[in-house]
Copies of this chain bind each other. A is one copy, B any other.
Amino acid sequence: MHLFYTPDIQDQTYQLDEEESKHCIKVLRLKIGDQINLIDGKGGLYLAEIIDDHPKRTVLNILQIKTEYAKRNHYLHIAVAPTKNIDRFEWFLEKATEIGIDEVTPIICERSERKEIKIDRSNKIITSAIKQSLKAYHPKLNNYIPFKTFISQASADLKLIAHCDEGQKPGIAEKFIPHQKYLILIGPEGDFSPTEIAAALESGFIAITLGDSRLRTETAALEACFEINYLNRE
């Protein structure tokens, strides 16, 4: 069934905006009486029926509501340095949304070649990914922030930093506690600087390894996402 993202839904009836109305009536050719699904991004999955198939102001009547649809059993926040090639960062956002993530913060590090990202554009990628993978919760994308500002205010039950410096580091599994709030830091192409790593450890982050493979920034971030979701799987 066709799915629409309606974050501002409140009442028994809902009017799609002009763009969504056009998509619904002109593109999908839906008519009065046809049913569609809606997600509000806050856990609500709705079954709705078209009661006015106006091509600019389509009106829906809500038939059913499921709250906390496919609620996650943990909270995963990944803070990652946006990649020089933005496609790789956006790819991470799409894949992490499919696999399961709650919050993403782009962090600007000493060795970051990219110093900013277009949050609106990135949010659209997350939104289309939740629609594609039928997720009722919309991951939160924060604005980009300097690394040091971020770690000084970041909070979680388990704070981890994945870096490539020498020395034995435990895997996530060795530090893992199920169903917690996790925060994982992933560095830029040139990795975190020694100063940044020291500052993170100082702020209570635990250094971890994501395995022996040399991974690109976006692959490391997705590997971390995979591992946390996998370890919390029931």
Contacts and interface: CB of A to CB of B under 8 A. Distances in A.
Interface of A: 70, 91, 95, 98-100, 132-135, 171, 211-216, 219, 222-223, 226-227, 229-230, 233
Contacts of A91: 91
Stoichiometry (number of copies): 2
A215 B70 contact: no
A213 B95 contact: no
A211 B100 CA distance: 11
Contacts of A222: 95, 222
Contacts of A233: 171, 211
Contact of A70 (B98, B212, B229, B230): B212
Nearest to A214: B133
Contacts of A99: 213, 215, 219, 223
A61 B134 CA distance: 56
Given A226-B226, A226-B230, A215 B98 contact: yes
